[in-house]
Amino acid sequence: MWVNAALVQIDIVLSNKKANMQRIKTLMTSVFNRQIILLPELWNTGYDLARKQELAEDLAGESVGFMMELAREKSAFVGGSILHKHESQVFNTFVLVNARGVVATYDKVHLFKLMQEDLYLTQGQTFTTADLGFAQAGLSICYDLRFPEMFRHYTNQNAHIILLVAQWPTARHEHWLTLVRARAIENQCFVLACNRVGGATHNEFNGGSMAIDPWGVILAEGNREEGVVTAEMNLGHIKVARTRFPVLLDRRKDLY
């Protein structure tokens, strides 16, 4: 089965939800026939964590509403992370929606101390696998990429696609290139990774959103500019890769 995806790279305007929504609308005007659309990490506000209580929303808020509107317009699953308020706590939450509503959520498990996420946000406690109908998808956010155990867990849960949204800085772009491919190769799955572009107070972001196949082949890759990276994935290639090179069968589950 073929699955089509769109990865939306934007230069996030700090704390300006309406500007970020409008930019996504503009970029998506001429994009059609995509079953999966990914937006970057904290696509609506950026990392203005000091204003978390003001900026955070619940799942009935305007940002999730915007995602659902986009999902209806494009007949697609739409995913991206937002500052999510739940009772007295605020999470960095990956929200996945379709035209009918919220399909799944994932609260970021690995908080990035270098950006003081741990001082402002509540740490997630569980991983999330979402049923897309045509495949199971594991949800992940930025810094999670450095923890391969998480992605192996998703493989053990029969996830064939990993969805990753990020604000990964230019200074560590080589790590991004290596780790996104590594997660696909070691789990023999597809990885869709959406990164932001542009500048922030202390960081510059290089884009480079990518779609990777189970052999580690780059199917599509963005540059440093705003835009939409589109990719086509043949899910049948997962079975081919795992049959021709059955590395997953040689795991020593008795040892690790």
DSSP assignment of 177-192: HHHHHHHHHHHTSEEE
The secondary structure of residue 59, as a DSSP letter, is T
Q: Can you give the residue ranges of every domain in the chain?
A: 2-250
> For residue 201, what pLDDT is reported?
62
Whether 87 sits among the annotated catalytic residues: the reply is no
Tell me the one-letter amino acid at 150. M
**Which regions in the chain score pLDDT beneath 70?**
200-201
> For residue 200, what pLDDT is reported?
63
Q: CA 14 to CA 105: how far, in whole Å?
A: 23
By the 8 A CB rule, do 41 and 63 touch? Answer: no
Say whether 253 sits in a helix, a strand or coil. coil
CATH 3.60.110.10 for domain 2-250: yes
Whether 57 sits among the annotated catalytic residues: the reply is no
Give me the catalytic one of 41, 57, 117, 226: 41
> For residue 38, what pLDDT is reported?
99
Residue 28 token pair: 């998506």
Give me the catalytic one of 85, 108, 117, 189: 108
Taking CA atoms, 47 is separated from 52, 123, 140, 215, in Å, by: 9, 16, 17, 34
pLDDT in tens, 174-220: 999 999 999 999 999 999 999 999 986 678 999 999 999 999 999 99
Whether 113 sits among the annotated catalytic residues: the reply is no
Q: CA 59 to CA 36: how far, in whole Å?
A: 20
Q: CA 203 to CA 198: how far, in whole Å?
A: 9
Tell me the one-letter amino acid at 62. E
Each as own residue / partner, the long-range contacts of residues 223-226 (CB below 8 Å, 24 or more positions apart, any chain) are: 224/197, 225/9, 225/197, 226/9, 226/10, 226/11, 226/23, 226/27, 226/197, 226/198
Residue pointed to by tokens 């399909």: 103
> For residue 199, what pLDDT is reported?
85
Give me the catalytic one of 57, 85, 117, 142: 142
pLDDT in tens, 104-121: 999 999 999 988 999 999
The neighbour count for residue 135, using CB atoms within 10 Å, is: 20
**Which residues, 6 or more positions from 69, have their beta carbon under 8 angstroms from its beta carbon?**
none
